[in-house]
Amino acid sequence: QIALQLVKKCPKCYALATTGRPLSEGGDGHTANDACFGHRRDEFAGIDPETAHKFVSFVPKEFIDTVGEDLDELRGRPARKYKSEVPEAALKQCESSHTAADGSRTKAGGHKHADKGLYVYLHTLPMLVDKRLRSFLKIVCRHDVPLFYCNIDTPGEQQKYALGLLIWLMLHLPDNFTMMNLYDIGCVADKVVKSYEIMPPSLESRIMFATSAMHAYAHEWECQLVFSPRLKPGAGLTDGEGVERLWSKLRKLIGILRHCSKNRRL
């Protein structure tokens, strides 16, 4: 069953009578996710006592770290062979030209900020800190409703955040729920998932990756032909830029939250 908290957040997206729509037709839903390294918290902002309130929208740090550890272990093994729709040279060019594709690149370095940023995850209808916390990442729906967040505690935007949020969301959905995920580097995320068994086959087969509409133009042409939502069957008018619109709405909180204590920031 679809988790009640998702239905409450966006009934239009999740109050579905049936699930299991083929990915070739757009799937049951579209999601978009992105990170923002502007939502940092100063290291000396203070730490207040632990709160009894449960932040259900925040994915546990332990879960994200577990995904990261699994990825590191899998990358130490030979990559799984698969037939890519995009030439390997084009994928490497996309990977090298986007900082989000390289988790070792610093976006929020130094020791001044504890929380480095946020990661958010949105759902779109296919219809036609101490030193550990540096930023936020979110996942949102087509109606720009944020579904889940996670703190970014590394200087760079590592794959564990995007994939961890996606896996966490799918755990709250039926076993036949199909999803199109739009991400700035959807082509790289697709390569990682297909090269390493970070997801079980039953889950991997229900997820299709695409790049967000505006970011797609920064990719190689061969990549755009496969991953651009404007050229992808079933994507409709979904642009995957809802996260950017949400970050814009939250921009006035950046200065305020920079000096908040850890729990008050969440």
What are the residue boundaries of the structural domains of the chain, listed by start?
A: 4-44+55-265
pLDDT at site 209: 96
Does residue 244 register a pLDDT over 70? yes
Contact between 145 and 127 (Cβ < 8 Å)? no
pLDDT at site 129: 37
pLDDT at site 54: 73
| Cα–Cα distance for residue pair 227/212, rounded to 1 Å | 9
In angstroms, the first-to-last Cα distance of the chain is 28
Average pLDDT of the residues of the chain: 84
- Half-sphere exposure for 4 (CA within 13 Å, toward CB): 0
Rounded average pLDDT over 36-56: 74
**SS in 3 state form for 160-210?**
HHHHHHHHHHHCCCCCCCCEEEEECCHHHHHHHHHHCCCCCHHHHCCEEEE
Rounded average pLDDT over 70-97: 92
Does residue 57 register a pLDDT over 70? yes
pLDDT at site 87: 94
100 vs 153 pLDDT, higher one: 153
pLDDT at site 139: 82
7 vs 136 pLDDT, higher one: 7
Does residue 17 register a pLDDT over 50? yes
pLDDT at site 180: 94
Contact between 35 and 156 (Cβ < 8 Å)? no
* Residue 41 pLDDT level (bands cut at 50, 70, 90): confident
